[in-house]
Chain A
Amino acid sequence: MIHYFPLQNLENRDYRMFDQEMQKAFREFNLPFYIYSNELTEAQEIKSGWVMDAVSHPVHCIEQAKDFLQRLDTVKSGDVLFFNDLTHFGLDAMKYAGFMRDQGRKNIRICSRGNVY
C-alpha cells in the first residue's frame, strides 16, 4: 500500500499535474494507494508567502498528518509513505507516532520529491 501525500491541489502551480502523474503511475504499476487530504479549499489558495501559502501549507500538512495518525493501525510492513514534497510539517509527528507505536520494527519506507523551494 502506498500512503500518498500530495501537495495542495492548485492548478496554477505544477502541483496538480504532478499529483495526476503520480496517481497515473501508481495505477500503471498496479499499486494500491490511499490519498491523504488533497481537497482544494479556499484556505489552500496562496495568499501570502513566496511559493506556498505561509499559513495554508502547514495547515494542509497538519491535516494530512492527522488523517494518517487516525489510520495508523492500517499501516503494514512493506508499505510506503510517498510525499510530493519533503517540506512537510507533519512528517516528524508521523515518524514519532510510528516509532512509539512500534512501527519502527515494521519495514516502512518514506519516499519524497525534494523540497520545491
Chain B
Amino acid sequence: MKKWLRHSERAWFEIATRIFVATQKPYLDLQASGLIDMAKVRIVGHPFDISVFSKVERKPRQDWVIFPHRVDIDKQPFEFLSLAKLRPGMKFIFTFGGKGFESNIELYEKASEIENVICYEHLSKKQYYELLAQCKIMVSTAIQENWGVATYEALHLGVIPICPRSCSYQYILPDFLLYNTFEEMVQLVSNFSGGDAVLDSYWDDGKSAEVMVKSMLECIE
C-alpha cells in the first residue's frame, strides 16, 4: 500500500468510533496493520437479503464453471482461462456485469479464442443469479477478497465454490473446497464436475445489518 494511503487510512481509523468487518480476514489484516485500536472492530458477517435467492428462476443445472468476479486484475481472470484450456469438455463462463466487453478487451479477445469459454455482457443482477443457479461450480482465482460476497451468492444458489486457501475464503468455506496451487484447483474442479455432488444448504442468515445497528447502538449508550 502506498504511504499516503496508509496515512489516510490511519486518519479514518482514528476518527471512527466503531468499524464493522465481515470476516476474520479483514479483522486480522487490520490487527496486523497496527493502525487501529482493535477494540473498535466487530466481525458482523454480510448484509444480505437472502429472500432474493428464493425468487431466482431455476433452470436445470449444467456442468458449467463460472467466474464470479468482475474481470479485474486482482481477481486474476487469466488464471481462469488457463483452467478452461485444460478442461475442453467443460463450459466456462465469464460475466461482465454492468460493464461490456470494452471494460477488458484483452481478456475478451483471449477468451474468444477458446472454444469452451463463453462471455456474457451487460447482465443485470437478476440475470446473473439465473445464470449462476444453472452452474455447477464457481471458481475464484482472486488474490484480493475481503468479503466473499460472490461466494455467498454461489452457496445460496447451490453452486459449489472452489477458492484459494487465502483471503476471506479460508474463514467462510470448509477446507475441502480450498486450494493452494493451480494444480490443486484443476483437480478440485475435476472432482466436482460430472457427478451429483451438492453442498448442504447453508449458512449466513443475512442478519448482518441488524447486528451492525445493535452494535452501533451499544457504542452510543
Question: Which residues in A have some Cβ–Cβ distance to B below 8 Å?
Answer: 10-12, 14, 17-18, 20-22, 24-26, 28-29, 31, 45-46, 50-51, 78, 80, 82, 86-88, 91-92, 95, 107, 109-117
Contacts and interface: CB of A to CB of B under 8 A. Distances in A.
B216 A18 contact: no
Contact of B19 (A10, A29, A112, A117): A112
A25 B210 contact: yes
Interface of B: 9, 11-13, 15-22, 26, 30, 41, 46-49, 52, 72-74, 97-99, 123-125, 128, 144, 146-147, 149, 206, 208-210, 212-217, 219-220
Nearest to A113: B20
- Most B CB contacts (10 A, CB to CB) among A12, A14, A91, A111 go to A111
Given A12-B98, A109-B17, A25 B220 contact: no
A116 B144 CA distance: 10
Contacts of A31: 213
B72 A50 contact: yes
Nearest to A17: B49
Report, nearest first, the 7 A-B pairs whose CB atoms are least far apart: A25-B209, A21-B47, A21-B209, A12-B98, A12-B97, A109-B17, A114-B21
A78 to B, nearest CB: 6
Contact of B47 (A18, A26, A29): A18
A82 B125 CA distance: 26
A17 B18 contact: no
Contact of B17 (A92, A111, A114): A111
B209 A24 contact: yes
A111 B19 CA distance: 6
A36 B147 CA distance: 24
Contacts, number: 112
- Most A CB contacts (10 A, CB to CB) among B9, B47, B98, B210 go to B47
Nearest to B9: A115
A64 B98 CA distance: 24
Contacts of B217: 29
A17 B53 CA distance: 13
A10 B98 contact: yes
Contacts of B11: 91-92
B98 A45 contact: yes
B12 A14 contact: no
Contacts of B128: 12
B124 A11 contact: yes
B95 to A, nearest CB: 9
A45 B73 CA distance: 19
A31 B52 CA distance: 25
A70 B146 CA distance: 34
Given A28-B210, A80-B216, A80-B220, A17 B48 contact: yes
8 contacts: A18-B209, A21-B49, A21-B206, A50-B72, A50-B74, A109-B17, A109-B18, A114-B20
B47 A22 contact: yes
- Most B CB contacts (10 A, CB to CB) among A10, A14, A24, A82 go to A14
A111 B20 contact: yes
A2 to B, nearest CB: 8
B15 A116 contact: no
